[in-house]
Amino acid sequence: MARNLRLTPLLLPLLFLTALIKTAHAGGIAIYWGQNGNEGTLTDTCATGRYSYVNVAFLNKFGNGQTPDINLAGHCNPASNGCTIVSDGIRNCQKRGIKVMLSIGGGIGSYSLASAADAENVAQYLWNNFLGGKSSSRPLGDAVLDGIDFDIELGSTQYWEDLAKYLKAYSKPERKVYLSAAPQCPFPDSFLGTALNTGLFDYVWIQFYNNAPCQYSSGNINNLISSWNRWTTSIKAGRIFLGLPAAPQAAGSGYIPPDVLTFKILPIIRKSPKYGGVMLWSKYYDDQTGYSSTILKSI
């Protein structure tokens, strides 16, 4: 015979606390968009409901006296102001509660910082052209992005901490400037190690691919878990993400089959208080495999 269960006054706070803990550890998926014209628009990307963060990639020319340049592959031509249409996508994503970052750097480009003064100039350019400042030549139009993503893989190894400090100085209680970074998994990252020590980064999506010593390989998760533990206990950051290729062809090495990720890796790394979720490269490859759809409920 069924009995009506009544929640005692003692049980209610316990259930509430459990829900809070689950919410605190709930992760999201960050995606890189912009490097393939066949991956859909920014609006389409956010409308999937699979992503919590989108990195618009890349501003791959800046610093050292250069005129900055953005490259969004086949999406639009910035030379003819053709990328201002992306503003609609940025706003549509933000209306859904998705944070949209401008990713600077990348694996191909011409960028570096010559000095702290150069870093200050680049920060001012980014503020005026992509964030809350004013400029007559905003490449992505008048939408205000949520922050800047540092994907620094070449050029100088110095002054990135200065760029982070100058950018964060623009942050205000009513309009925060978020900072994210995509270091390689060998610790510390040769380009961003010093910058990450500032504690100014809200999100750090570590690239656990194309780096044999600290990535998944042929059923072995030990190197990856060991590296993850070192990162999460060594840097001051808001949330730390496991960065992965969304398809085998998206990287030279380090692809993790979805079942291995959901059953063997995520249950371990989700225990970290700094766990933020998973970053995927990239929207185009995710479209090919459906990787994010497969793992979403386990994040």
Instruction: Check pLDDT > 50 for residue 105.
Output: yes
Type of residue found at 188: P
Which residue type occupies 15? L
How much is the pLDDT for 26? 80
Evaluated on CA atoms 162, 163, 169, 173, the torsion sign reads: negative
Active site residues: 153
What pLDDT sits at residue 209?
98
For 211, half-sphere exposure in the C-beta direction (CA atoms, 13 angstrom radius) is: 20
- pLDDT on residue 190: 97
The pLDDT value recorded for residue 25 is 56
Give SS3 for 29.
Answer: strand
Q: What is the pLDDT of residues 137-160, one digit of tens each?
A: 999 999 999 999 999 999 999 999
CA angle, residues 63, 117, 34, in degrees to nearest 5: 30
Q: What is the pTM of this model?
A: 0.92
Separation CA 143–CA 145 (nearest Å): 6
What percent of the chain lies above the pLDDT cut of 70?
92
In whole angstroms, give the CA distance from residue 296 to residue 27: 9
Kindly report, residue by residue over 13-64, the tens digit of the pLDDT: 544 444 444 444 589 999 999 999 999 999 999 999 999 999 999 999 999 9
Strand-pair category, 69-70 with 239-245: unpaired
Q: Is the pLDDT of residue 235 over 90?
A: yes
Q: How far is CA 167 from the centre of its chain?
A: 17
Q: What is the pLDDT of residue 9?
A: 52
Q: Please determine, for residue 5, whether its predicted confidence score (pLDDT) is greater than 80.
A: no
Strands annotated E in 191-274: 203-207, 239-245
The stretch 194-202 carries a mean pLDDT of 98
> Which tokens in the block code for residue 23?
């919410």
Give the pLDDT of residue 19.
45
Can you give the pLDDT at residue 164? Answer: 98
Share of residues in the chain with pLDDT > 90 (%) = 91
